[in-house]
Structures are given as structure tokens and as C-alpha cells.
Amino acid sequence: MSENKETKLSAKEKREIIKRTLKAVNDADKGIIARDTIAYCVDLSGEFISIYLSALVIDGIAQAKPVETLLLYAAIVVGIQAALSVIKRFLLRRRNSHTFAEQSNMKKNLWQKVMTMDYVHLENTDTQNQFVNAQRQLNNNNAGISALCNYFMRTIGGLFMVITGIILIIPTAFRSPTATSGFDGFIQSVWGFVAVAVITAVLELIKSLVINPKAILGFEEIHNDNNVISAGRADSFFNQYVLNNYRNGKEIRMYSQKSLIGKELDKAQKIIHDGWFRGYKKAMLPNFIFQIMNILTKVLMYGFAVMRAASGMLTPGEVIAFALYFENISAGVSEISDGYGLLKITPTFCRKYFDFLDIPDEKYKGTIPTEKRNDNEYEFEFRHVWFKYPNTEQYVLRDVNLKWRIGEKMALVGRNGCGKSTLVKLLCRLYDPTKGEITLNGIDIRKYDYKEYMALFSVVFQDSSLFSFSIAENVAASTEYDSAIVEDCVRRSGLSERLDSMPDGINTYLYKDFDEHGVEISGGEAQKLCLARAIYKGSPFIVLDEPTAALDPISEHDIYTKFNGIVGTRTAIYISHRLSSCRFCDEITVMDNGEIVERGSHDMLVSAGGHYSELWSAQAEYYKDTAGELFA
């Protein structure tokens, strides 16, 4: 098991996390904590009422009261229990609906963080583990957020039980004894009652403050075990994204991946099982001692009630009521001490939820608005830009200097892994340079308002995603859109014939995850829809980051040249490792090993006999059969 060096929280920090957790839950669904606590106390009050009325019935039978009186008592008991049952059912249904709303909104907080946090964090494995652990605390009924709310409610409920029980037991606890000396005299005296009450309270406190926390701490170690966390992520990945995605079924069958996936699942589940088994083993002895002390407490309470009854101090009904009131007082003390003890432990877990939400956005978002220029006169420049990914030592980009203006068409070419996509990530501020700066019209892009700056770009990545929404929603990236413009963008991207065959046009759903009439589209069609999305956004700057890498050279060339006409006066960067696809560009920038090694037109670079010429000659061998079509 991996070591987990959790920073211990001070008492003040624990109190602050408890307050923050209760506030977050209440903000997720206004009044849910108060409603749940009141519902719990109503439920508890029903038990006390039933005990009191049942004692009346028993004493009525023992005292041979008229049948009419006994039937009245019984009717009252049944009536009150029926009324409480209806109230409890109503409150339970209300609680279930509100619990769903609270849980949904708490999860929404996490997903909003995922969608807005710095991209540099999102790609980090530690952040992914933090996210999984934060999600887990929402349903962690032992020591997470749901547990903290439950313990808080039970603590208030315990206080209610103690106060109500004491009020009801006082008339039977302080009666004149029939004996004044010896053991019988002590049992019948007030001091005997106080002694039993103190012993019971001490036992409950030991159970709650010493034994129960020891049982929970074993599970706390498992919750913090990085191996178990990673295995949980793997298990979720295979179950949710591999096995639950019907589009993976073809590859699993064609390549007999059942064994591979099965082994990985077994491996993850074994780590999870072994981890929790260790937790249960550590909790076994404390739980055994806990149950022994429970038995001792009940023996003490019932024994005390029986001895008092034997002395004639209590009627048959009062014996039962006395024992049950005493048991409820004891249970109330246990609830309070349990709640207090466990509320000292739960903040350690609840903190994991807030630790994820509190991951700082280190990227400076800027305040300067971007210019809304009718002439689209923008100029970008990389000035001595160096970059290495977080937690790595090797630079991916080295002293990059590059300048281009809006309206220019630039191709960025080079071997795979030379830094082309990284350069685009920096341009779009998914990352910031390690050294150097990128400027827009002479101003460091970090100083511009982040949202306004991002609005300048439409990017089609080689792994761009489409979701199981309608075509229109995918293209507009919104539920609100101009249907005519969406359709125009889809047709301009080269999907007119396919769109005409769609059952509901642009309102047709993609894939069958949520609509049985959803359509399956090919990889090329998916990329064209991504191009349509870039067109719809209407940004002055468009980047195509090898979106057609899986297509043949002729298809790629066709898409690029067609899209070049669509771009018009806007700036476009075409990234490709296929040099043939970008011959139409105004300028070609050649990268190698993180550096810009050449710039110029196709003819200039070929005749220069440098790196580009070498790549051109090597690649020409692979598509010489279609060279006439491509270069005509």
C-alpha cells in the first residue's frame, strides 16, 4: 500500500470544514439540512409517543380497567402511529427528491470546475485522482460529505432524544423508595439512578470517542491509498467508457480484446478488494468490542428497571416505559458522542471535495479587452518562446520566433512529435510559455481577457470530439442557434449529400446513446462536422491541427483546399505532417525537434535543399502514384 502523508487538521480547521460542508450542502438545495433534521426528530418523537401510550395500555390491562377504556387507548396508539407513518412517508419522499437535487448540484460544482480549470491541471494524473476522490466523498456514507450531514442530523436528534427521554423518565426515576438501606436501598434511591446513568453514559462515550473512530480510521487509510484510487479510476474507465460504449464493440470482437480488458478489470478490482479487505480487518476488533459494550449497556439498563419493579416502585407498564426511555436516553448520548467523535474525522474526507474545488487557476486571465476590429488587422508573434510540459525536464519548443498577420495562410509542417500541436496549444493559451512571450498586436496575450482572447480562435484538433447531441447542437456548441447558419456551415464543409439523407436534417441526433434513431457517421464525416463547427463560430483565426490525419492524401488535400476557400480573409494555420496538403499556403513553416528550421513557399523550400526538401522527397515516394492529381 502506498504511503499517504495526510496533513493533520487542527481543531479550528475541522470546524471551518464542517461549516463549509454544511453551507455547501445547503446551497445545493436550500433548507435540506433543516428539513432532514426536523424529519428525523419527528420520527424519533413517534417512538416516544408509542412507548408512553403502550405503557398506558399495559397498565390498563394489569389494573383490569374497562374494555372501553382499553380500546380507546389502543385506538389512540394505532391512530397516532398511522398518522406518524403517513407523515414519515411524505417526509421520506420529499427527502429523496431533494437529496437527488442536492447530490446533482454538488456534482455540478465538480464538473464546472473540470470544464473551467487550467488545462495544465486537467492533463495531470494527480488532478485526475483528486477528482475521483472528490466525487467519492459525495456518497461516502462512512466519513464523507453525506456522512457529515448525517452525523450532524443525528447529533441534533440525539440531543432531542436525551431531553425528551429525561422529561418522560423523571416521574418514574424520583419516587419514594420502599427500602432505605443496603443494595436495594441504593438501587431504589436517586443516587442509584444517577450511578447507572453515569456508567451508561461513560460506556457510550468510550464506544463513540475511542472504539468507533478506530474502526473508521482503517477505512480512512484505504480512501487515501493512491493505489486504490488509481484502481478505482481504472475500474470506472473500463465500465463506463469501454464496456458501456457500444461503438467499442467492433474492436473488442475483431481483436479478441475480451481477455485484455478482463485482465485489466480483474487487476483493478483485486487492488480495490484487497484494500477494502484490509480496512475491514482493521475494523473487525473494534466492531466486536463495540457490540460487547452494547450488550453490557442493555443488561445494565434492563437489570436496573427489573430490580426497581421487583421492589414495587414501578407498574408493569412503567417497567417497560422506564427501560425504553432509559435506552433512548442512552441511545441519544451515543448519537451525540458518535456525532461528536465522527465529526472530528469526517472533515479529513470532506476536505478532499474542497481541495479539488480549490485547485488554483495559476494562469493569469488578463483584463485587457481584445480589439473588435472591422479590418481584422491582427498580428501574432512568438518571441523567443521556450516550453516544457509540467513535471518534465525536456523542452518541447526551443527559442521559437514566429510572426504572421490576419489573412495569411500558413502551413506548419514537420515530423510527428516535432512540437507543432504544442505550438498551437500555446497560441490558444491552453498552456503558457515556460520562457519568452506570445504577443497580439504587440501586447503579451496573457494580459488580454481570457474569454475574449479564446473567442478569437476556432480550432479543429486531430482528436476533436462530437457528442451524442443533435447535429445542430454539435455545430453551434449550444442549445440556442441559428438553424439557417448551421445548415449553411454543414453544407459548406462538404456534407450536403449526407445531410439530405438525414431523417431530421440538422436536428438529427448523432449516435444511439440517447436516441434510437441516432445516426452513425464515418471518421471523415465527423471531421467535416468539426470543420462546420469552426466555421459557425466565425472566429478571425482558424487552426486545423491534423484533423484529417486518418484520411488518404487525396481526401486530405481536397478538404484543405475546399476549407481554404471557406476561410476567406481570415487567418488559417494548417498543421500536417503531409507536406502535399499545404502547398496552397502563403508560407510554410518547418519545425524539427522543437525548433523552426525553415520558412518560405513550397517552391523556395524545395529548391533550398534543406530539411523540407528532404521530407518532401521521402514522402513523395509514398504518394507518387497520385502526385499528378495532387499537384496539378
Least confident piece of the model among 275-284, 465-474, 556-565, 596-605: 556-565
In the beta sheet, which residues pair with residue 510? 519
The domain boundary, picked from 483, 507, 538, lies at: 538
- The position carrying cell 498552456 is 431
- Angstrom CA distances, 92 to 22, 27, 37, 49, 154, stand at 20, 20, 12, 20, 16
Beta strands in 82-137 (DSSP E): none
| Domain containing residue 507: CATH number | 3.40.50.300
| Domain residue limits at 528 | 467-538
* Residue 412 within a domain: no
Least confident piece of the model among 357-366, 398-407, 555-564, 612-621: 555-564
**If you ran DSSP here, which 8-state letter would residue 209 be given?**
I
> Is the pLDDT score of 351 beyond 80?
yes
> Is the pLDDT score of 398 beyond 90?
yes
**If you ran DSSP here, which 8-state letter would residue 621 be given?**
T
* Residue 581 within a domain: no
Predicted TM-score (pTM) of this structure: 0.68
Please name the residues in contact with 102: beta carbons below 8 A apart, sequence gap of 6 or more: 25, 28, 29, 32
For the chain, the average pLDDT equals 80
Range ranked top by mean pLDDT from 265-274, 278-287, 443-452: 443-452
Please name the residues in contact with 318: beta carbons below 8 A apart, sequence gap of 6 or more: 55, 59, 172, 309
- Angstrom CA distances, 427 to 186, 286, 407, 423, 567, stand at 86, 58, 17, 6, 19
Of the two residues 177 and 78, the one the predictor is more confident about is 78
> How many C-beta atoms lie closer than 10 Å to residue 617's C-beta?
12
The domain boundary, picked from 484, 515, 538, lies at: 538
Least confident piece of the model among 12-21, 66-75, 594-603, 608-617: 66-75
Which of 167, 170, 174 shows the shortest CA–CA distance to 48? Answer: 167
* Residue 348 within a domain: yes
* Residue 610 within a domain: no
In the beta sheet, which residues pair with residue 587? 410
Q: 396 falls in which pLDDT band (50, 70, 90)?
A: very high
- The residue-averaged pLDDT of 85-110 equals 79
Which of 78, 85, 43 shows the shortest CA–CA distance to 57? Answer: 78
* Residue 82 within a domain: yes
* Strand order through the sheet with 571-576: 457-460, 541-545, 571-576, 409-413, 587-592, 595-600
**3-state secondary structure string across 296-364:** HHHHHHHHHHHHHHHCCCCCHHHHHHHHHHHHHHHHHHHHHHHHHHHHCCHHHHHHHHHHHHCCCCCCC
Record the cell numbers describing residue 27, joined without a space.
446551497
The domain boundary, picked from 308, 330, 357, lies at: 357
Amino acid at 41: C
Do 258 and 138 lie in one domain? The reply is yes
- The residue-averaged pLDDT of 545-557 equals 65
| Domain containing residue 123: CATH number | 1.20.1560.10
**If you ran DSSP here, which 8-state letter would residue 519 be given?**
B
> Is the pLDDT score of 628 beyond 50?
no
Record the cell numbers describing residue 55, joined without a space.
405503557
**CA gap 326, 582 in Å, rounded:** 86
Instruction: Report how far Cα 107 is from the mean position of its chain's Cα atoms.
Output: 5
> Is the pLDDT score of 459 beyond 50?
yes
Instruction: Report how far Cα 590 is from the mean position of its chain's Cα atoms.
Output: 42
pLDDT tens string 220-255: 666 667 787 778 777 776 766 666 665 566 566 655
Q: 256 falls in which pLDDT band (50, 70, 90)?
A: low
**CA gap 574, 408 in Å, rounded:** 11
Record the cell numbers describing residue 291, joined without a space.
457490540
Cβ-defined contacts of 230-236 (< 8 Å, 24+): 230/129, 230/271, 231/267, 231/268, 231/269, 231/271, 231/272, 231/275, 232/132, 232/136, 232/268, 232/272, 233/128, 233/129, 233/132, 234/264, 234/265, 234/267, 234/268, 235/265, 235/268, 235/269, 235/272, 236/132
Do 153 and 30 lie in one domain? The reply is yes
Do 154 and 273 lie in one domain? The reply is yes
Q: 626 falls in which pLDDT band (50, 70, 90)?
A: very low
pLDDT tens string 411-422: 898 888 888 888
* Residue 219 within a domain: yes
pLDDT tens string 569-621: 778 888 877 777 777 788 899 999 999 999 998 889 989 988 888 888 887 66
Please name the residues in contact with 568: beta carbons below 8 A apart, sequence gap of 6 or more: none
Do 473 and 352 lie in one domain? The reply is no
> Is the pLDDT score of 631 beyond 50?
no
In the beta sheet, which residues pair with residue 519? 510
Three-state secondary-structure class, residue 292: helix
Q: How many structural domains compose the chain? A: 2
The DSSP H or E segment spanning 576 is strand 571-576
- The position carrying cell 466523498 is 137
Query: What percentage of the chain carries pLDDT values higher than 90?
Result: 11
- The residue-averaged pLDDT of 388-406 equals 87
Instruction: Give the pLDDT of residue 3.
Output: 42
- Angle, CA of 354, 359 and 364, to the nearest 5°: 145
Upper half-sphere CA count for residue 562 (Cβ side, 13 Å): 16
**CA gap 214, 388 in Å, rounded:** 46
Do 185 and 315 lie in one domain? The reply is yes
